[in-house]
Structure 1
Amino acid sequence: MNRALRRPDAVLVQAVIAGALSFAHLHDLAAAAGQSGWKAWAYPVSVDLLLVAAWRRLRIGRDGASWTWFAIALAASLGANVATAGLLDLDHVPAWLRILVAGWPALAFLGGTLLVHAPRPDASPEDPAPDREPAAPEVEMHRTDTTPGPVPAPAELAPAPVKPPTPVPAVPAALVDHARSIADAYRKSTGEPITADALTAQLGLPVPTCQAIAVQLELI
């Protein structure tokens, strides 16, 4: 047997006693307001269920609707306890109290429906569904039992195409000396060495010939 059942907790006993007294007070008030028979016993159940439903919502997340309905149910329960303490003549219940007792079922039904079908206060559109398990991370699998194929020998590889060398035209020594004098004059006038393009522009010779001269002058 459960240990809690063999030795009841003092807090649990106190809760049962307080609940029974509150239940009886609500029943007496409903009966005095004209609700006889089983209807008078249903009022305490309705008030306590609304109080419990609002409290469960408050444990999930504190929102304005939960606090509102919790305060309404607590006021109904506390008001019935105070009203039956001798402050109210139960033989002559005022009309406004009869109206409140008669309208309580509709109010309790509305509150219970809103508490049950309202979204969770701590849920956001970006949050995943609480009953959906998170997807397992994808793991990329590589096979290690495969045998690599034979590596081709160097001789089996296709040789890369070789571009034929560009023939360099023969340049007379006199033309090279003339180009060197142009390069020296350019250096004296500008303070910088002449470029291959500038030498080609001044010589006015074909491009291959000028490039051959530039190579001999170490301009390229």
Structure 2
Amino acid sequence: MRAHFTRVDAVIVQAVIAGALSFSHLHDLAEASGQGGWKAWAYPVSVDLLLVAAWRRMREQQRAGQPAGGARLWFLIALAASLGANIATAGLLDLDHVPASLRVVVAGWPAVAFFGGTLLAHAPRIAEEPAAQVVPEPEPAAAPVPVDTPRRDELPATAMDATPEEPAPSPALAAPTRVPAVPLPPALIDRAQALAEEHRTT
């Protein structure tokens, strides 16, 4: 944790030092080009703000997958203005006798920065896409377990040649048992014969 804070503090200190030096160089160049008073202090603020705004917009468009050509163009313009001022004040330019072309560039910078900042501020905002809902994939159905059914040629000979046994007949379907005849009295037999004869006659 302490190493993390140490690294962050070092980055912040480095950024502050670099920003202060760049600010000072831009101020000196603007003042040498005839922009005195508060105007010389406003130039560094204008350049650095345009640089940061263009960088942020360029990163937003790149993350959204959109073309970032406009934001990249204004970032390069602000970077060229900042870098050019730092190089010009490195002793390569006589600040007591600034060329007229440089005076024109410095004098026209506010209009350029205002135009670029307006375009960046009024560019359509990038709507954040809602997080895609993760739909769980259906689990694949378990494959049926193949059942090894023996083929006919794989069965043993005894199982193929065996004759199926007939089921034993149930007791309900068995043949009825013959009941022995009961002898009838002769008088009953004679009476039955007389009735039959009378029926046939009628």
Q: TM-score range by the shorter chain?
A: 0.5 to 0.7
Aligned to 1:89: 94
Whole-Å separation in 1 of the counterparts to 2:124 and 2:38? 34
Aligned to 1:99: 104
Structure 2: unaligned runs, 5 residues or longer: 63-67, 132-202
How far the C-alpha of 1:59 sits from its partner, in A, is 1.5
Whole-Å separation in 2 of the counterparts to 1:89 and 1:42? 22
Q: TM-score, normalised by structure 1?
A: 0.52
Aligned to 1:36: 36
Which letter maps to 1:58? Answer: M
Q: 1:93 to 1:66 in 2, by over 3 A?
A: same
Whole-Å separation in 1 of the counterparts to 2:122 and 2:7? 39
Match of 1:64 among 53, 60, 69: 69
How far the C-alpha of 1:5 sits from its partner, in A, is 8.7
Whole-Å separation in 1 of the counterparts to 2:33 and 2:90? 16
Aligned to 2:122: 117
Larger radius of gyration: 2
Moved over 2 A (4+): 4-8
CA deviation profile, 1:35-84 (whole Å, cap 9, x unmatched): 00000000000000000100110110141100000000000000000000
Which letter maps to 2:124? Answer: P
Whole-Å separation in 2 of the counterparts to 1:110 and 1:41? 20
The structure with higher relative contact order (CA 8 Å, sep 6+) is: 2
Task: Give the number of aligned pairs.
Answer: 124
How far the C-alpha of 1:8 sits from its partner, in A, is 6.3
Instruction: Percent identity, please.
Output: 75
Q: TM-score, normalised by structure 2?
A: 0.57
How far the C-alpha of 1:118 sits from its partner, in A, is 1.1
